[in-house]
Chain A
Amino acid sequence: MSTATLEAPAKSPMSTSVSETPARTRATNRTIKVSIKRQASPESKAATETFEIPYRPNMNITSLLGEIALNPTTVTGVDTTPISYDANCLEEICGSCAMLINGKAMMACSALVDKLMGPNGDGAITLAPLSKFPVVRDLAVDRSVLFENLKKVKAWVPIDGTYDLGPAPRQFPQVQEQRYPLSNCISCTICMEVCPQFNEATGFVGAATIAQAKLFNMDPAGAVLKPDRLRALAGDGGVQECSFSQNCVQACPKQLPLTEAISDMGRDVFVQQVKDFFTR
């Protein structure tokens, strides 16, 4: 491929790859092998299909899936359908393309093929849907449990009234600085996927929702719903189900301080429960 030889030597300052091995810059007949766990509908059985894509440097998983869509033929020459998956922004901000890449939960847009192929650049890549959410089709899963959870903890600022409520209370920059990292959540559900406690037996709410409850509790206007949020988080599947494996904070693609949020909410929920016990 001529594009490969043209692109590879150009090292822009934006490039994150530190050193391109000579093997990678050479335009050869290298291919990318990718095995994808597919299923046509929520009820149908899953099966794995393998594809072989001509190598191009600096690909991500989304562009790889795009290549397959251009020519959806498996490695054995069987014509098949393009892969279904959720994607939107392609820059790790919409949170829709989370999937299991080489067995680990990652965002398809920020997962780089060159890294995933291993040090020798010949490793096969496996893709599968997130394992803890119902599959819709192929790599697309139904993550509405997160939306339901956010509604349960009232993760919003109540500003609707029948009249003008006036300007919001002042928010100090110190509070803003604490809140900002939490506002980076993209609802990708990776924190829930990697959590050993998030499963059908516990019905654990997951780190993202707990962090959002903290975000809105710290909002000067949103704090009015703080007791409601804390009571919700003491329900079955609430903050108590966290066993602090800390996988959430390790896996979060946006580096949210999730364990800190869980710890803080653990204290606030406890204080609220004690207060309710004596005063309600």
Chain B
Amino acid sequence: MATAAPPAPASNPTLRGVQPLRAGQGHSYFWRRLHSLTGLIPIGGFLIEHILSNYEAVNGPLAYAQQVKFLNGLPLVRVLEWAFIFIPLLYHALYGVFIAIRGRSNVNVYPWAGNWSYYMQRVTGYIAFAYIVQHVWRQRFSGVSLPEHPGAAFAKVQHELHNPWMLAIYVIAMVATCWHFAYGVWLFAAKWGITPGEKARRNFGYACAAVGTGLCALGLVGMYAFINPKYANAPADVMPEQQPGIVLPAPSVAPPNSVNPSAAIRN
């Protein structure tokens, strides 16, 4: 047994094509799983919050302003905004593009449902990314600043959706984002081993489709409020300007054309 160990087999220096698994090496596992997780928490959570908040527009400019004021009155709201929305969203978007450009979609050759979904997850991801960039820029970082002027929120969105092209972009982006989220939840459960069985995956697929469709419907109804004739020409601002650290109450007399007329009739 004193002989030297047999020479290690050549580690296939000539192996061309796709390289073997780099067992135990690298950090892509962490980054890829983080990407999967951020899609649910916090981004998915924020998407639901955002659509529910926007649905308040159904009750008119004043109700919408109250919702915007409430969200901007949360403690450490700017920290929350960066830590749970902007940074995770930016990471999810950029790493998502990195994933998408490394995939080689072959849905033209194998047109199966799962393969279509793989392709659509990338397409909707790109749509959502492009939309969110312009949406965050135009609605959050340019024009009238809503944290200080929550009362101007309704009018700001209304002016945006007044352009039919912009309205079309919003509708497409709403459908794409909800699809991306719903299928993302399904993918999360499948990849993390929560729904390994075929039946579990199919049933969870129905559940995700139902939630995604419901969320999309809610979003579109909320969006319709801004173009609903009953709120046509909403007042530019329905609230006093908000000071840092103080949440001022809504005006005791609602400005004209700022509440839901059908609700007012009931009162």
Contacts and interface: CB of A to CB of B under 8 A. Distances in A.
Q: Give the interface SS of chain B, mostly helix, strand, loop or mixed.
A: loop
A145 B28 contact: no
B110 to A, nearest CB: 5
Contact of A232 (B21, B28, B110, B196): B21
A236 B22 contact: yes
B21 A152 contact: yes
Contact of B103 (A149, A243, A265, A273): A243
Contact of A238 (B17, B21, B110): B21
A interface residue count range (under 10 / 10 to 19 / 20 to 34 / 35 or more):
35 or more
Contact of A203 (B22, B104, B187): B22
Interface in B6-26: 12, 15-26
Interface residues of B, number: 44
Contact of A241 (B15, B23, B28): B28
B23 A235 contact: yes
A98 interface: no
Interface of A: 42, 103-104, 132-134, 142, 144-145, 148-149, 152-153, 192, 194, 196-205, 209, 231-238, 240-247, 250-251, 257, 259-260, 262-270, 273
B118 A196 contact: yes
Nearest to B26: A236
Nearest to B17: A134
A89 to B, nearest CB: 25
Interface of B: 12, 15-26, 28-29, 32-33, 99, 101-106, 109-110, 112-115, 117-118, 121, 187, 190-198, 201
Nearest to A236: B26
A263 B191 contact: yes
Contacts of A196: 103-106, 115, 118
Nearest to B122: A243
B28 A236 contact: yes
B112 A236 contact: no
B24 A232 contact: yes
Contacts of B24: 231-232, 234-235
Nearest to A146: B20
Contacts of B25: 235-236
A72 to B, nearest CB: 28
